[in-house]
């Protein structure tokens, strides 16, 4: 990823309301070649509205969307074909085979007959459905349908891929395949906007994170930057037996006690860095704390999200 | 179990209330069909909802003719129209929207009856409207029987008063013979000449509703239309593409139906069988366009079915696909002029039964296409507004 590259897709100060409810409030974002940007937020945060506006199938109340630096209306067909949308719902034809589904999207997206043959085969192979091409879509498992949904979105090799919660309802194995393929697609030069409420997916494959909540973009940047915006630090989670000394952990340098449940024998201590772990454990022995188990916890997006919004990623925004 | 039944019932009621179109159709669709059928078929059960005109030419000017005219004037639902020229009477029948039958009382009828003969009234009939002709002929037959009986009763009483039966002749009986309104045309038709196009059009409409409205509704529901729009496919183009595919299917459906009708039931294909493609094109186009309208107003699968089937059946019934248009009361015939089914059936009847040239189907084609264009524009506007 190179930040110097011009954005493939850019939203500038877009807002959208549904009646009295403000769904998006002055959101600006961009995606560049080779980059996967995670659009991360709880259900109802405005992710699908954002993607629909980026895909130019929903008009914003204000603001604009630029594809390759130009508004869509300057070349509706040409610029539209730069986009590939993989919606959250399975926008496919259930009675058609996998190949027929992909073929229809390929042709509708402007590929010639010969190009479509080649692209369909490649798209189905890429998502691992090459050997099931002639099977009807309704006979597929949920995960396979998701993979086919992806194949229809990438068959015309769009430089920009918009993915709306593509792994919802997908089993572990299919999810792994899907994530790997999306990463490869971006590595080949595409810009990807990946909408999800699974923060672990964002952490795994995304280069940049856009945290959205109640229609507002509350944080943006690479993973480390967004996590640091939350202000969280590494933690050590202890399980101990017996009594804690008077003054508890106050004598340990560079450590802050952020939660202790005496009745369960558990305590959480925040450190400046993981380099302190040995020192902290030694200090605990000095204090006669009988530690029977401990876990180390790196600050993550979930911590940052909670810190920035006051609620968890899986909470529904009402 | 009972709880499940109760909860499901409640939920179904909620779903039904949420979909007022379905509710409306469930309640009013039967009323619409019953109204159309009741008004149209009323005459078959003895009391027509509307009166018919009966052109009559009296070349006899005798007592029998006078008796017939007076009796017809007293008949319920008959509007007698006196004409002087037999050719004019024929023309009235052969022209559409006039009357299915005209009567000619030949010269010498009264004299023939008085002489004990069996003269016949001449009825000019339109074979396309055979059912109406039969119904009217029953009434004319009854009238002839009454007049004959009256004449015989009068003669019998004369015989009895004079007491000399050998001096008088008993009157003969009065009957009628059919003549085609158009020279060379048959006076009766194969029933399948009516049923094949009539029910063909009905099922074409229903098929289009299911084929277009349901699939368009599904595509809206699945999100495929939206998804394809992202990559530059115009919504209007996609909709018209769907209509075109179904339009072709509709034509093939009607062609197959006519082929089967000809092979199995010996239907008439008219003087130029290829001309049947003209009304077929028109009705396929209008039906496809109507499917778009239904898809654009439906809010659920159930709506598509109920709205589509009700509209199809009502249009077929009012448009003369199930029974002759003239069965219907005046206001319904006025309404029928705005339906593509009416024009299509008119064209099929002209080509197949009246043996008219292909040019007779051009005006109906223009009317059907015109109505179809209105449907398409309305459907597209509605779809595009939903898209926004």
Query: Would you state the CATH architecture of domain A235-298?
Result: 2-Layer Sandwich (3.30)
For chain B, residues with pLDDT lower than 70 are 1-51, 94-98, 158-170, 184-189, 387-388
Place of tokens 């159709």: B25
Instruction: Find which of B230, B236, B241 to mutate to test the A interface (most A CBs within 10 Å of its CB).
Output: B230
Query: Chain B interface residues facing chain A, Cβ-Cβ under 8 Å?
Result: 222-224, 226-233, 238, 388
Judging by DSSP bridges, how do beta strands A36-40 and B101-105 pair with one another? unpaired
**Does the beta-carbon distance from A110 to B232 stay under 8 Å?**
yes
Query: Would you state the CATH architecture of domain A9-229?
Result: 3-Layer(aba) Sandwich (3.40)
Residues A51, A27 contacting (CB under 8 angstroms): no
| Predicted local confidence at residue A316, as pLDDT | 47
For A85, the closest of B227, B238, B388 (CB atoms) is B227
Query: How many residues in total does chain A contain?
Result: 318
Portion of chain A with pLDDT greater than 70, in percent: 96
Judging by DSSP bridges, how do beta strands B101-105 and A191-196 pair with one another? unpaired
CATH homologous superfamily of B44-180? abc type-2 transporter like domain (3.40.1710.10)
Instruction: Find which of A16, A89, A108, A165 to mutate to test the B interface (most B CBs within 10 Å of its CB).
Output: A108
| Predicted local confidence at residue A1, as pLDDT | 46
Buried b (16+ CB within 10 A) or exposed e, B59-90: ebebbbbebbbebbeeeeebeeeebeebeebb
Q: Give the integer Cα–Cα distance in Å for B341 and B334.
A: 13
Over residues A35-48, mean pLDDT: 88
Tens-digit pLDDT profile for residues A47-104: 889 999 999 888 999 999 999 999 988 888 888 889 999 988 888 888 888 999 999 8
Chain B residues within 8 A of A79 when measuring between CB atoms: 232
* Chain Cα centroid distance, residue B345: 7
| Predicted local confidence at residue A2, as pLDDT | 46
Tens-digit pLDDT profile for residues B271-323: 899 999 999 999 999 999 999 998 888 777 777 888 888 888 899 999 988 88
Chain B residues within 8 A of A51 when measuring between CB atoms: none
| Predicted local confidence at residue B137, as pLDDT | 84
Q: Give the integer Cα–Cα distance in Å for A306 and A309.
A: 5
Tens-digit pLDDT profile for residues A199-242: 888 888 899 999 898 899 988 888 888 888 877 788 899 999 98
Q: Give the integer Cα–Cα distance in Å for A72 and B75.
A: 75
Query: How many residues in total does chain B contain?
Result: 388
| Predicted local confidence at residue B41, as pLDDT | 61
DSSP state of A307: H
Q: Give the integer Cα–Cα distance in Å for A2 and B155.
A: 119
Q: Give the integer Cα–Cα distance in Å for A29 and A217.
A: 9
Average pLDDT, chain A: 87
For B231, the closest of A83, A90, A93 (CB atoms) is A83
| Domain layout of chain A by residue ranges | 9-229, 235-298
Give the residue among B125, B124, B136, B126 at the shortest CA–CA distance from B44: B136
Q: Give the integer Cα–Cα distance in Å for A50 and A30.
A: 12
Judging by DSSP bridges, how do beta strands A70-71 and A62-67 pair with one another? antiparallel
Chain A residues within 8 A of B226 when measuring between CB atoms: 57, 87, 91
**Any idea which of A148-157, A308-317, B255-264, B349-358 has the lowest mean pLDDT?**
A308-317
Q: Tell me the two tokens of residue A254.
A: 């560079």
| Predicted local confidence at residue B354, as pLDDT | 82
H or E segment to which residue B285 belongs: helix B277-297
A177 pLDDT exceeds 90?
A: no
Give the residue among A105, A184, A201 at the shortest CA–CA distance from B231: A105
- SS3 percent helix, strand, coil of chain B, rounded to 5, is 70, 10, 20
| Domain layout of chain B by residue ranges | 44-180, 190-387
Judging by DSSP bridges, how do beta strands B78-83 and B52-58 pair with one another? parallel
- Nearest chain A residue to B232, by CA: A77
What does the longest C-alpha to C-alpha distance in chain A come to? Answer: 79
Chain B residues within 8 A of A76 when measuring between CB atoms: 232
> How distant is the Cα of A50 from the closest Cα of chain B, in angstroms?
14
Over residues A280-309, mean pLDDT: 87
């Amino acid at each position: 990823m190179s930040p110097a590259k011009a954005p493939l897709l850019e939203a500038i100060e877009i807002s959208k309301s549904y009646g009295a409810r403000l769904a998006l409030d002055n959101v600006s974002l961009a995606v560049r070649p080779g980059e996967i940007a995670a659009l991360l937020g709880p259900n109802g945060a405005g992710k699908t509205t954002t993607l629909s506006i980026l895909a130019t199938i929903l008009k914003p109340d204000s603001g604009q969307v630029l594809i390759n630096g130009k508004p869509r209306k300057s070349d509706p067909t040409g610029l539209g074909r730069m986009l590939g949308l993989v919606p959250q719902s399975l926008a496919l034809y259930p009675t058609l085979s996998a190949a027929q589904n992909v073929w229809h999207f390929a042709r509708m997206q402007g590929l010639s007959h010969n190009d479509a043959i080649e692209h369909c085969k490649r798209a189905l192979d890429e998502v691992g459905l090459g050997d099931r091409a002639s099977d009807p879509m309704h006979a597929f498992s949920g995960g396979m349908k998701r993979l086919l949904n992806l194949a229809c979105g990438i068959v015309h090799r769009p430089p920009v891929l918009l993915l709306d919660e593509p792994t919802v309802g997908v089993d572990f194995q299919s999810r792994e395949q899907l994530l790997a393929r999306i990463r490869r697609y971006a590595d080949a030069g595409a810009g990807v906007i990946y909408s999800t409420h699974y923060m672990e997916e964002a952490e795994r494959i995304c280069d940049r994170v856009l945290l959205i909540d109640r229609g507002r973009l509350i944080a943006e940047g690479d993973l480390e930057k967004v996590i640091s915006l939350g202000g969280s630090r590494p933690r050590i989670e202890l399980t101990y037996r017996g009594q804690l000394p008077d003054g508890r952990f106050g004598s340990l340098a560079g450590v802050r006690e952020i939660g202790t449940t005496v009745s369960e024998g558990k305590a959480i201590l925040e450190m400046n860095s993981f380099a302190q772990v040995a020192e902290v454990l030694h200090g605990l022995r000095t204090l006669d704390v009988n530690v029977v188990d401990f876990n180390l916890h790196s600050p993550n997006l979930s911590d940052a999200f909670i810190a920035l919004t006051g609620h968890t990623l899986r909470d529904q925004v009402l | 179990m009972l709880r499940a039944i109760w909860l499901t019932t409640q939920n179904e009621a909620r779903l039904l209330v949420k979909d007022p179109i379905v509710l409306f159709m469930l309640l009013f669709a039967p009323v619409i069909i019953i109204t159309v059928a009741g008004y149209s078929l009323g005459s078959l059960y003895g009391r027509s909802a509307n009166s018919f005109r009966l052109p009559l030419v009296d070349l006899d000017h005798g007592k029998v003719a006078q008796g017939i005219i007076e009796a017809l004037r007293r008949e319920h639902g008959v509007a007698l129209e006196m004409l002087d020229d037999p050719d004019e009477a024929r023309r009235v029948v052969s022209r559409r929207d006039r009357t299915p039958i005209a009567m000619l009382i030949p010269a010498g009828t009264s004299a023939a009856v008085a002489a004990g003969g069996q003269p016949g009234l001449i009825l000019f009939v339109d074979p396309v409207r055979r059912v109406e002709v039969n119904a009217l002929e029953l009434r004319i037959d009854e009238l002839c029987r009454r007049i004959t009986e009256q004449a015989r009763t009068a003669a019998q009483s004369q015989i009895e008063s004079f007491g000399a039966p050998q001096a008088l002749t008993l009157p003969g009986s009065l009957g009628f013979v059919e003549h085609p309104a158009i020279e060379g045309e048959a006076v009766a038709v194969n029933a399948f000449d009516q049923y094949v196009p009539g029910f063909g059009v009905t099922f074409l409409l229903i098929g289009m509703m299911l084929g277009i409205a349901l699939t368009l509704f599904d595509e809206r529901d699945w999100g495929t239309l939206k998804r394809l729009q992202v990559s530059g496919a115009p919504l209007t183009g996609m909709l018209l593409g769907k209509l075109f595919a179904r339009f072709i299917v509709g034509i093939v459906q009607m062609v197959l139906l006519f082929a089967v009708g000809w092979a199995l039931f010996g239907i008439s294909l008219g003087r130029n069988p290829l001309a049947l493609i003209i009304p077929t094109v028109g009705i396929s186009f209008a039906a496809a366009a109507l499917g778009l309208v239904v898809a654009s107003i439906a809010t659920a699968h159930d709506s598509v079915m109920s709205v589509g089937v009700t509209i199809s059946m009502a249009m077929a019934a009012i448009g003369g696909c199930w029974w002759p248009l003239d069965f219907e009361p005046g206001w319904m015939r006025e309404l029928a002029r705005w339906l593509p089914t009416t024009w299509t059936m008119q064209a099929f009847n002209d080509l197949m039964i009246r043996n008219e040239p292909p040019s007779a189907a051009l005006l109906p084609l223009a009317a059907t296409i015109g109505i179809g264009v209105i449907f398409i524009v309305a459907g597209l506007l509605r779809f595009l507004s939903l898209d926004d």
